[in-house]
Structure 1
Amino acid sequence: MLEDEGPHSAKHIKIPGWKLNEQTFRALLKVLPSVSQLQILQFWQAGLTDQMVISLTGTISLCSGLRVVMLEGNPLPEQTYHHLLSADSLLTHLSLRNNRIGDEGARLIGSALSTTASANKNLLFLNLSFNSIGDEGASHIAQGLRFNRTLAILSLSNNQIGDSGAARLAEVLGEFVLTHEEVVERRKMLLQRTQSDISRKEDKRAANKDGQKPHKNSQDMKRPHSKGGKSRGKEQEVSALEEEEEIVNPLLAPSLYRRDGQLLVPGNSSLTSLNLAGNRITEKLLPLFLALLEVKECECYVKISELMASTDEENTSEQTREDEQAE
């Protein structure tokens, strides 16, 4: 279904409730790059296969404006959904609702969100609701959130997540300690950066010694020329900002700090919305999530506090009635 005027000016292509065979799907893939204004692509119960999704991933990169993909009701035996979250993916919104992803699929998706070596840098919204994801799968997703600093909205509603899985998700939202493997990886990255800096300085000195102007890279071209103190101050400020932008992996972020001999990360503050409705989480986890709300006067904090207080009053009243009846 094309929701616009003319096939080449469509912004939203939706294929709902009918099975695509290989021949039809290949034809669709050939057409998609020519739809220059395409922004949203939706498949609902379209009978996609793992190979189709892998092929779709390659085609998406050829669609300049395509940023939203909804692949719902299309369970895949080999769980290849994670290809859509690759580090070089340009998608900003991805819905994988009702695909029977389970814990193994969640593991692959978690690794695609981030590892110590790579991370998805564009995805803002991810819907994983109605996918039979349990505590183990939630832990994999939590692992993927450790070093992802792009994702803002994540829905894990209507899965099978209990208190232990929810606790792992809460853990990465607050400060957390780096593991031994992560500390080792950080040291390697710092060493590589130091060696790279030394190499650039040596190249610059060699060029100056030969009476040649050092080669200017793209970052040097961006920096403003300075003649006075104020300009130099601005140049240093721009340089600092550029260095900040160069930090892709949070393992190298200056916000890391040490406490009691351990290296800690402030936590994932990029994720602003986490939907865990319809899971198997009990009220025991409320204080844990409540503690993550740094601004105690915020509306959300007040509502949760009132709800907990009301529940405590009801439990106390009920216990009192039971005690009176027992007497």
Structure 2
Amino acid sequence: MGKKGERGARDKAAALEEEARNAARKAEQGEEEYQCGGILEQDFAELCARAGFQEIPRVVTRPHGGHPAAALPEESDPPVEPSLLAQIQSKYSYFRPALQVELEHEDPKSAREVFIRGWKVEEKMLSVLAKCLPALSHLQGLHFWKAGLTDLTFASLLALLPTCTNLRGCSPPPPPPPPPPCRTLAVEGNPLPERSFYKLISEDSTLAHLCLRNNEIDDEAAGLMGQALAALRSSHKGLVSINLSCNHITDVGATHLANALRLNRSLLSLSLASNRIGDEGALKLAEVLGPFALTHTEVVERRRLLLEKESQERGRLPQRQPDVKSERPSSHVSNTAIDKLQPAKVTKALNKKKEKELAKKEEKEKALMSMVQAATVAQAKKEEAKQGKKAVPPAEQKPVRGKGTKSGPKDKRVQVQEVEVTEPTETVNPLLEPAEHRDGKVFLPGNQVLLYLNLLRNQITEVGLKAFLAVVEHQISRVPPPGGKGPTGLLRLSLGKNNYPADSKTFARIQELMALRDPLPKAGARPLEEEQAASGT
């Protein structure tokens, strides 16, 4: 072990020396830093050559939605019989490292998806990708299949993602603005010992679709991901689908993910196919999709949020202004303290003077009010005579602001309500959803945002099927149908290839109910369960 460690240290030191020599050579020759032009084939080849790669992987165009085997060009028969070495090279050229690219259209600058399949990506190669990928303005997805990622290279991949503008959700400047990108990341067949996949669901991440199939994700890794999804204030709000198929998740991991769905209201699709989930995990998942009771911690948090909401609403309400008649002059208020210190005779004289002054002021105010009312009535009559129409009732008149007009408390209240309606609505905390109190507990209606749940090829029996049947029946009776207002609930539920009898009436009933809710039914096609099982998805 000591010799291997020394050998690795020597190799690393030699690599650092070679990079230093290359940097010095570039500085001596005055070579400028390469500016990527957005054509991946040219940029990737040039950056690999400058990084000192002896063998540069090819950049191959992949047909849109095509099979990986169709990505490589067909080999034409040579006119002359090749040598044995040439035959071997042409035979195994398919297995050479290649960077597969799917284009949006024929323009070479429209790289849409980038695929790395079946060859190890090291730190040096990721540094090259970090330079050429941000220049792709149409990039929507990155796919790493059995790329030999480690915890170290995975950290470099995390640093690479924010630099890709379209994966970050940024669009080119108008006109006209393009549609929002898919922001997809697929990391398959790359198990990580430190279980770092939960870092993809951080607050700074803006991925929408995350595929983590065949990564040996266990219950501990699923627990870390569940914590990231359940964190209400720091969870990734843009993540709408997660694929955790073909992993090692059992009932414990399914329970962690079910607890995350209690408060997560952004996830639309969750795939847990080909795992080791039994009835216990199925019951937990079914529980959060229907009405569930809050825990003591959640009840305390709900009360705190309700008090905070009430205080905010009180702060938004306009303050009541006192009436003019009940408002006391500032001089009278300021002299009350002095009156107590003065002799009785002096205070009586002052009070008489103040009463006379107040009476004169009231008379003047009444005279002014009568004059103003008379002027307004006369003006209204003139306008009616000119227009030849009846006066509009005061309730239907629109308030017109002039230089000397002031809005009263009612006008202010109406203005505040209008502003509140026009403001964009914020995401409602799930703990503030309408609750039901029974048996001394607080029940929420459950997660009605999740649209698709895939539990194909697990270990669920008839017990788990009955729990899901109850949930489906409840959602159909309470949740509005597709196209209606509000959450819709499950539209697809995949439970095929589990441990229940082939003639299970419960499974048949679930299939019958879900077929009515499927937004994209296929006429004359096989059921969804059989189709997915046959395709291996």
TM-score (norm 2): 0.48
The answer as to whether partners of 1:8 and 1:34 remain within 8 angstroms in 2 is: no
Determine which of 123, 126, 137 is the counterpart of 1:25: 126
What does the per-residue CA deviation read over 1:108-142, in whole Å, with 9 as the maximum and x for residues that have no partner?
A: 11111123544321112110011110010000011
The answer as to whether partners of 2:206 and 2:236 remain within 8 angstroms in 1 is: no
Relative to structure 1, is the Cα distance of residues 136 and 9 closer, same or farther in structure 2, using a 3 angstrom cutoff?
same
Q: Aligned partner of 2:153: which letter?
A: M
> 1:40-119 maps to which residues of 2 (within 5 A)?
40-66=141-167, 67-119=183-235
* Aligned counterpart, 2:263: 147
- Tell me how large the CA RMSD over aligned residues is: 3.5
The answer as to whether partners of 2:232 and 2:264 remain within 8 angstroms in 1 is: no
* Aligned counterpart, 1:170: 286
In 2, the alpha carbon distance for the partners of 1:154 and 1:241 equals 34
The answer as to whether partners of 1:96 and 1:129 remain within 8 angstroms in 2 is: yes
Determine which of 270, 277, 287 is the counterpart of 1:161: 277
Relative to structure 1, is the Cα distance of residues 53 and 196 closer, same or farther in structure 2, using a 3 angstrom cutoff?
farther
Determine which of 239, 247, 250 is the counterpart of 2:427: 247
Q: Which has the larger radius of gyration?
A: 2
The answer as to whether partners of 1:117 and 1:249 remain within 8 angstroms in 2 is: no
Matched, 1:284 2:456: no
In 2, the alpha carbon distance for the partners of 1:77 and 1:202 equals 58
Matched, 1:269 2:448: yes
Give SS of 2:504's match.
helix
* Aligned counterpart, 2:254: 138
* Aligned counterpart, 1:182: 298
Matched, 1:14 2:115: yes
Q: Aligned partner of 1:291: which letter?
A: A
Q: Aligned partner of 1:247: which letter?
A: T
Determine which of 497, 501, 504 is the counterpart of 1:308: 504
Relative to structure 1, is the Cα distance of residues 74 and 234 closer, same or farther in structure 2, using a 3 angstrom cutoff?
farther
Q: Tell me by how many angstroms 1:171 deviates.
A: 0.8
Relative to structure 1, is the Cα distance of residues 157 and 311 closer, same or farther in structure 2, using a 3 angstrom cutoff?
closer
The answer as to whether partners of 1:54 and 1:83 remain within 8 angstroms in 2 is: no
Higher alpha-carbon deviation: 186-195 or 102-111: 186-195
Relative to structure 1, is the Cα distance of residues 237 and 97 closer, same or farther in structure 2, using a 3 angstrom cutoff?
farther
Give SS of 1:181's match.
helix
In 2, the alpha carbon distance for the partners of 1:181 and 1:93 equals 31
Give SS of 2:443's match.
strand
Give SS of 1:292's match.
helix
Q: Aligned partner of 1:95: which letter?
A: C
* Aligned counterpart, 1:2: 101
Structure number with the bigger relative contact order (C-alpha 8 A, sep ≥ 6) is: 1
The answer as to whether partners of 1:163 and 1:280 remain within 8 angstroms in 2 is: yes
In 2, the alpha carbon distance for the partners of 1:40 and 1:201 equals 47
The answer as to whether partners of 1:119 and 1:147 remain within 8 angstroms in 2 is: no
Higher alpha-carbon deviation: 90-99 or 57-66: 57-66
In 1, the alpha carbon distance for the partners of 2:294 and 2:222 equals 22
Q: Tell me by how many angstroms 1:194 deviates.
A: 4.7
Determine which of 415, 435, 443 is the counterpart of 1:256: 435
In 1, the alpha carbon distance for the partners of 2:264 and 2:506 equals 37
In 2, the alpha carbon distance for the partners of 1:295 and 1:307 equals 24
Q: Aligned partner of 1:25: which letter?
A: L
Percent identical pairs in the alignment equals 47
* Aligned counterpart, 2:534: none
Q: Tell me by how many angstroms 1:188 deviates.
A: 3.1
In 1, the alpha carbon distance for the partners of 2:281 and 2:422 equals 37
Q: Tell me by how many angstroms 1:234 deviates.
A: 11
The answer as to whether partners of 2:126 and 2:156 remain within 8 angstroms in 1 is: no
In 2, the alpha carbon distance for the partners of 1:188 and 1:153 equals 31
Determine which of 124, 129, 136 is the counterpart of 1:35: 136
Q: Tell me by how many angstroms 1:54 deviates.
A: 3.1
Q: Tell me by how many angstroms 1:70 deviates.
A: 0.5
Q: Aligned partner of 1:21: which letter?
A: E
Q: Tell me by how many angstroms 1:60 deviates.
A: 2.0
In 2, the alpha carbon distance for the partners of 1:39 and 1:30 equals 17
The answer as to whether partners of 2:126 and 2:157 remain within 8 angstroms in 1 is: no
The answer as to whether partners of 2:122 and 2:153 remain within 8 angstroms in 1 is: no
Relative to structure 1, is the Cα distance of residues 310 and 127 closer, same or farther in structure 2, using a 3 angstrom cutoff?
closer
What does the per-residue CA deviation read over 1:131-158, in whole Å, with 9 as the maximum and x for residues that have no partner?
A: 1100100000111111111111111010
The answer as to whether partners of 2:222 and 2:249 remain within 8 angstroms in 1 is: yes
TM-score (norm 1): 0.76
Higher alpha-carbon deviation: 120-129 or 234-243: 234-243
What does the per-residue CA deviation read over 1:135-193, in whole Å, with 9 as the maximum and x for residues that have no partner?
A: 10000011111111111111101001111011111111111111001112223334444
Q: Tell me by how many angstroms 1:246 deviates.
A: 1.9
Q: Give 5+ residue unaligned stretches, structure 2.
A: 1-99, 168-182, 322-397, 400-409, 482-490, 497-501, 509-537
The answer as to whether partners of 1:114 and 1:120 remain within 8 angstroms in 2 is: no
Relative to structure 1, is the Cα distance of residues 46 and 257 closer, same or farther in structure 2, using a 3 angstrom cutoff?
same
In 2, the alpha carbon distance for the partners of 1:42 and 1:74 equals 11
